[in-house]
């Protein structure tokens, strides 16, 4: 939740565009909407503990990458979109 607010704020700060802000929200929920039913059947085939470790580790790496981009001042909007799309998929 907090990271969703932070990424929306970052997109608004970088672009000032309401359209890109809405696109960020759309990209956040698109994986759940498009692949939710399919992912549920796939996830049931794997060990939940290992799957959770994998997805949370990927989430940490992506968060660190976006944080490093912002800290260095090299924060392209497309990187925030990629993070928004993959963030929801890993939850």
Cα–Cα distance for residue pair 69/63, rounded to 1 Å: 10
What pLDDT is attached to residue 19? 93
Three-state secondary-structure class, residue 16: coil
Output the pTM of the full model.
Answer: 0.68
Cα–Cα distance for residue pair 47/79, rounded to 1 Å: 30
Domain boundaries, the chain: 2-90
Cβ 67 vs Cβ 83: under 8 Å: no
Cβ 54 vs Cβ 23: under 8 Å: no
* Residue range 12-27, pLDDT digits in tens: 888 888 999 898 888 8
* Residue range 25-84, pLDDT digits in tens: 888 888 878 887 788 888 888 888 998 898 889 888 888 888 888 888 887 888 888 888
Q: How many CB atoms lie within 10 A of CB 72?
A: 8
């Amino acid at each position: 939740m907090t990271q969703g607010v932070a990424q929306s704020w970052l997109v608004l700060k970088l672009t000032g565009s309401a359209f890109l802000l809405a696109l960020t929200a759309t990209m956040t929920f698109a994986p759940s909407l498009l692949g939710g039913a399919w992912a549920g059947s796939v996830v049931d085939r794997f060990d939940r503990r290992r799957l959770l470790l994998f997805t949370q580790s990927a989430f940490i790496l992506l968060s660190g990458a976006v944080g490093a981009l912002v800290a260095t001042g090299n924060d392209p909007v497309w990187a925030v979109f990629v993070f928004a799309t993959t963030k929801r998929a890993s939850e």
